Each structure stands twice: as structure tokens, then as C-alpha cells.
Amino acid sequence: MGTKEKILCVLYDDPVTGLPKKYARNSIPKLDKYPDGQSMPSPNSIDFTPGELLGSISGELGLRKYIENSGHELIVTSDKDAKDSVFDQHLPDATIVISQPFWPAYLTAERIAKAPNLKLAITAGIGSDHVDLQSAIENNITVCEVTYCNSISVAEHAVMQILSLVRDYIPQYKWVTSGGWNIADAVSRSYDIEGMDVGVLAAGRIGLAVLKRMKPFDVKLHYSDRHRLPESVETDLNLTYHENVESLVENCDVVSIHCPLHPETEHLFNEELISKMRRGSYIVNTARGKICDKDAITKALESGQLAGYAGDVWFPQPPPNDHIWRTAPNHALTPHTSGTSLSAQARYASGVREILECWFSGKSIRDEYLIVQGGSLAGTGAHSYSAGNTTKGSDEASEFKSSN
């Protein structure tokens, strides 16, 4: 890899109030390993302080010094969707693209066709559905993500949103900030979660972490996954296994979605599936927005079939101002922040640095980071994804800035 490479990095915008002059905390906890024993990202070195804002354009994932000292070029932008975007201008001669799920650079088949030099697509985080994996396979592009870097971050967010929905926290907070003390109004949709049936769709790293964190709330736990958990785990958490999603949703009051987006899960939660849920159920979706049909979710919220919908993911991202979920009743959505806490940023920035170090030196990239390699699904990709394309949507995302 001795030739000069052009790295095109797409990150979200800096804070509208400016970069923090200081941070709320002086440091973040140092973790030695992930819950399953997988080692933390292990680059040779880093050029940032863990706990800093790294995911916005000024943070640059802490990569500029390393990349330029290695003789390569780094382009960082947030302009990724509109026609003639900075991303599109630089893509034809880029060899590496780095993007976050929170502000994805949609690598469609059309864009890949215009990028003959593209050899590596890195997700700074987890979830590579913004890349047309089928096209990456056909064009021998390696696709990587920093597996496990923010799984616990997302699990914590999901638990927060489960409780926020069932206890109806957001309207109660709004009464306080508006100067009210309207207790009857505040509790008119608030319930205890104790004794409810709570299920997760896909019990991988994130889903299993949610199940573990929900157990102390004395709920009945359920899950469905194409890879069944070991009997010892089911016994320890007192889990009920469901062979399909229909059985899961029919038997739960709360469903938390944690499966990847691929052709088999696209629009999985449509009107038909939601109609099989218990009336007044809740859905939390911290996986991918396109797993849920946005119109079906809104209709169910309006009819009362769903008592609430929360999540952290939309389609497209960013969503236009007129996206139907923005004004849907009884929602508790956030702008895909679950996996980009300052703690998570330190891990996925380190993971990207590790991947680049391997790439430039010709060393093998960790198997758990691989999604596509050598013209086929590989590593984590072979375990979790299906070949195919779910990336369309960049044109819709381009409406975000024009509608603001």
C-alpha cells in the first residue's frame, strides 16, 4: 500500500453553539474488554483525548495527523446528499470512504460505479446498510465496521427509551418546563413496566445487553433470533424463545428491535405485523429506521394499536423536516445519538485508526470487523447480513437541509 491514498470522511456537523470549550466530565472510564471477552480497539497510538467530541467535522475522528504523516490525503465533510455535494465531488478518486451510521454517506450502486478507485468502506460505528453490499461484493470493495464499539451505548439508550415510553416521561418533563404541575395530565398514560412482557428481536450483542439490563425490572423476557442463544443463557435470564417475529410480537407488551437492516428485514414492521401486536403495545427501534414502515407506525400510533414508538433511527438520515414521524403522536424519538456518546466515539475512532493501520501496512483486518471482503460477505457480515441492496434514500436525505 505504498501509493498515496485519498480518504474521504463524512461526519456530522459541529454543534450550532460551537465546539465545547470544556466538557462536563474530565475523563471517561477505561474499559479493558467487551462483555464477551473481545478486546477493545488496539491501534498503535491515537491523537486524541478519549471523551472529546470526535464524530463531528472538526473532530475528524482524530485522524488527520496520522493520515497526513503517513503520506495520504484526508477530506472531511458533512455535505453528502445534495447533487454535486462535496462527497460526490471527491468520490471519483477516493480510495477509502469513512462514514458514520448517524450521518450516513449512502454508497449506492450508482455512486460505487462512479468511484473506480474505491477499495475500502469503513463504518465508524456498527451497521453498514448504508453501503450497497451487493455492489461492494461485485466490485471487490472491502467493507468494515467497528464491531461492538457502541453496542452497550445503544443498549443503554434502548432501556432508557423503553422506560420513557411506558412511564410516559417526556410529557411529564414538558409540564415542568412549561411551568405546570398537571399531575393528572402527566400520569394519564403512565404505567409500571413490572410484570409486562418485554421482547427483543435479535439477541446479538445489543439485544442480549438489553435483556440483561431489563431483568432486574421483574418483567417477563422474550426474544427471537435466527441464532438461538445457549440454553444456559436462556435459563439464567428466564427467557422465552420465539421461532419467528410473529410469535414474538403477539406475546409482548414491549418490542425492542435490534436486527440489522438487509432485504429480509426491510419494512418488516408493516401494517400486517403491527396488527398482530397487543393493543397498546410499544415499539423501540434502535436498529435501523427502514425496518419499520413509517406510515404503518404513524397509523398505529394514531389508532392506539401502538401506545408509543421510540427509537433512535430514521430513514433517510437526516430525515426531512416534513418526515411523518416528527409529528406523530406519543413518540419519543431521538436523532440517532444512541451510538455516538462521547464514550462510544473514543472506541469507534480508535477502531477506525486500527483498521487504517492494518490497511496501510497490508496486515489482516480483524475478522469481527469485516462485513464484505474478497467478493463475498465475510466475518460479522456473513453472520449477520444478507447480500442485497437496502441503501436507496440519499435523494430523500438531501431534502433535509433544503427544508430547514
Catalytic site residue from 222, 258, 288, 331: 288
285 has catalytic annotation: no
Sign of torsion, CA 79 260 121 62?
positive
State the residue for C-alpha cell 404541575. 181
CA–CA distances in Å: residue 13 to residues 16, 178, 350: 8, 30, 20
- Of the residues 172, 285, 305, 317, which is catalytic? 317
Show the beta-strand stretches assigned E in 28-115. 73-77, 96-99
Cis, bond preceding 260 (omega within 30 deg of 0): no
* SS3 state of residue 224: strand
Residue 125 near residue 118 (C-beta atoms within 8 A): no
Grid cell for residue 234: 436462556
Q: If we measure between CA atoms, which residue out of 168, 150, 189 comes closest to residue 312? A: 150
Q: Say what angle helices 169-177 and 151-166 make with each other, to 10 degrees.
A: 70
Catalytic residue among 222, 262, 336, 366: 336
Element (H, E) at 308: strand 306-311
Cell numbers placing 249: 410480537
Look up 167 and say whether it is catalytic: no
Whole-angstrom distance, CA of residue 72 vs CA of residue 2? 10
| Whether 150 is catalytic | yes
Of 148, 154, 106, which is closest to residue 257 (Cα–Cα)?
Answer: 154
The cell numbers describing 348, all together, are: 469507534
**Helices and strands, counts by H and E, the chain:** 16, 14
Whether 226 sits among the annotated catalytic residues: the reply is no
Residue identified by cell 462527497 is: 87
- Residues 122 and 96 sit within 8 Å (Cβ to Cβ): yes
Residue type, 26: N
Q: Which one from 100, 134, 150, 172 is the annotated catalytic residue?
A: 150
Listed in sequence order, the DSSP H helices in 40-168 are: 64-69, 86-90, 109-113, 133-138, 151-166
Task: Say how far apart CA 164 and CA 186 lie, in whole Å.
Answer: 13
Phi, psi of 372 (to 5 degrees): -135, 135
Q: Which helix or strand (DSSP H or E) is residue 281 part of?
A: strand 281-285
Catalytic positions are 150, 288, 317, 336
